[in-house]
Amino acid sequence: MVETFREVLELLEQYFVYIYPGFITIMINHFTKARGTNLNKSTLGISIVISYVYIILYQYFFKINVSKFSDKDYVLMLVISILIPIIWHWIKKLKLTEIILNKIGINTTLEDTVWDYIQYRDKEKKGIVLKVFLDDKDIMYEGSLRYRESDPEKEQTICLSGYRRYVKENGRYIVKQNYNNDNSRWVMIKAQEITRSEIKYASEK
pLDDT surpassing 60 at residue 205: no
Pairing verdict, β 172-178 and 139-148: unpaired
pLDDT surpassing 80 at residue 185: yes
As a whole number, mean pLDDT of residues 138-165 equals 86
Q: List, in order, residues 6 or more apart from 182 with CB less than 8 Å away.
A: 162
**CA-CA distance, 8 to 53, in Å (whole number)?**
25
What single letter denotes the amino acid at residue 161? S
Higher per-residue confidence, 38 vs 187: 187
Beta bridge partners of 166: 140, 175
As a whole number, mean pLDDT of residues 106-122 equals 68
Task: Please give the C-alpha separations between residue 135 and each of 86, 157, 180, 188, in angstroms, as whole numbers.
Answer: 40, 17, 22, 16
Residue 58: count of CB within 10 angstroms of its CB:
19
Beta bridge partners of 174: 167
User: Where are the strands (E) in the chain, listed by range?
Assistant: 128-134, 139-148, 157-169, 172-178, 186-190, 196-201
pLDDT digits (tens, 9 = 90+) for 86-112: 998 888 877 787 788 778 877 666 676
